[in-house]
Amino acid sequence: MAITNITLHSGSPLLGSPVYFRLTVVARSGVTFQRAKLKATVKTFLPGDEYYDDEQAFEFSEPITSDGYIFIDVSSALRAMSDAYEYTPHTEAGTKSYPYFLLNASAWDEYMENGVFKTTESSALSPVTPFYFFLGAFTDFERVQSSDARGVTTLTRKPANGEVVPADAPLYIYPLSFTYTADDWFSGTSHAAPTTTAVVVPGLLNNIPGRTVWQANIPDEYVAFQFVNGYGVIESAYAFTLPDESVTKTVKEYTISTPMRFNKINRNIVRKSGSRHVFKMSSGPVTEEWQQWWLEEFLNTEQCWMYHKGSWLPVSIVPDEETSAISRSKEDLPEVQFTVKLNIEGHK
């Protein structure tokens, strides 16, 4: 058998980061070509009743040129399945679960010998067990600082201290702690799906696992956000509104030709899109640690909702191409400013 072993080699339970399997291969002599084939079978389990929803198989191929190892990244298969998941904001207190994905792998080789195409029987993953994956990804910086594998020990990148929540916040969302070590992952240990909890902040100081949160009467106007963080779960953020507010419109002008007459000219038609309101926001004065969270986590979100006039509305977070960071020449606390654009037209 040309593929003698297949094992999980490196990666993490977060499917947005690379996940490599290692194939131990033996090159065949006297064949026209030889390639290794890996089949990754992914099952999706959606939140709620933990029911099985879908299964798809993805095949990967690499040429075999000599004895040794071949490494294949299967994270694209996991992302193809996870892209179908639709996030919705929290609208009431309680726990919200997220999907998880099970992956099994098998491998074989294909080759041409004396003009005949041949394949071997597949070799199952060793040990034969499914591996669990969850939404989200580690950053490049986190992966560089890791070994070949990294577990999941938290569902938020917020600093442990210094978070302030308005007293009349409509809803406060925080991710629960979540421990799934690299050893658990390599052994295929079963694990519950990640969850986040939505609660109304009850007191001045809230002790959340791993963090503390202050509830305070904030005199300035603030806005509540829910957003999908880098771990693939929804959490909260609160920003201050700045005086600037604007409206964007897209205008397209068309020319319609009229029948030829000396005293008639072509007619112009102008199409205008509906109004999309744009707000300027600020994190307010924050420490350097919290500024990094705003810059690297909140501004990088791809899906976000803003609590505006009694509803959670989808918005786009639009950072400037260059956002000012720490100014070493000033003693003031830094802040992060950004733009928020409503994803729906109109305004009441």
Q: Which domains does the chain have, with CATH numbers?
A: 3-136 (2.60.40), 220-248+275-348 (2.40.30)
User: Is 70 exceeded by the pLDDT of residue 327?
Assistant: no
Other C-beta atoms lying within 10 Å of the C-beta of residue 139: 15
Q: Which of 131-135, 150-154, 187-191, 266-270 has the lowest mean pLDDT?
A: 266-270
**How sure is the predictor about 324, in pLDDT bands with cuts at 50, 70 and 90?**
low
Instruction: Give, for 154, the enclosing helix (H) or strand (E).
Output: none
Three-class SS of residue 259?
Answer: coil
**Which residue has better confidence, 277 or 45?**
45
List the single range of 139-148, 175-184, 243-252 with lowest mean pLDDT: 243-252
| DSSP letter for each residue of 51-91 | -EEEEEEEEEEEE--SSEEEEEE-HHHHHHHHTT-------
Q: Identify the DSSP state of 16.
A: T
Res. 5 pLDDT band, cuts 50 70 90: confident
What pLDDT was estimated at residue 293? 93
Rounded to whole angstroms, how far apart are CA atoms 296 and 286? 14
pLDDT above 70: residue 101: yes
* Element of type H or E holding 336: none
Phi then psi for residue 108, to 5 deg, are -155, 175
The residue type of 227 is F
Average pLDDT over residues 337-344: 83
- Mean pLDDT for 177-189 is 88
Q: Are residues 73 and 15 in contact, defined by beta-carbon separation less than 8 angstroms?
A: no
DSSP state for residue 180 in the 8-state scheme: B
More confident residue, 330 or 166: 166
Cα angle at 314 between 311 and 319, to 5 degrees?
A: 125
Answer with the residue of higher pLDDT: 266 or 8.
Answer: 8
Q: Is the pLDDT of residue 27 over 70?
A: yes
Does pTM surpass 0.75? yes
Paired residues of 305 in beta bridges: 226, 314
pLDDT at residue 146, rounded to an integer: 85
Report phi then psi at 304, rounded to 5.
Answer: -150, 150
Mean pLDDT to the nearest integer, 270-296: 82
| pLDDT at residue 203 in the model | 72
Tens of pLDDT, residue by residue over 207-241, are: 777 788 888 887 678 889 999 999 999 999 999 88
* The 211-216 sheet, strands edge to edge: 163-166, 211-216, 205-208
Q: Are 35 and 120 in contact (CB under 8 A)?
A: no
Per-residue confidence band for 321, with pLDDT thresholds at 50, 70 and 90:
low
Q: What is the mean pLDDT of residues 169-185?
A: 86
Q: Are 315 and 291 in contact (CB under 8 A)?
A: no
Average pLDDT over every residue of 204-209: 79
Q: Average pLDDT, stretch 86-101?
A: 89
Residue-averaged pLDDT of the chain = 83
Average pLDDT value for residue range 197-216: 79
pLDDT of residue 328: 58
State yes or no: pLDDT of 36 exceeds 60. Answer: yes
Confidence at residue 242, expressed as pLDDT on a 0 to 100 scale:
72
Q: Region 52-56: what's the mean pLDDT?
A: 79
- pLDDT, residue 21, reads 93
- Using 50, 70 and 90 to split pLDDT, how confident is the model at 57? very high
Confidence of residue 103 (pLDDT cuts 50, 70, 90): very high
pLDDT exceeds 70 at position 246: no
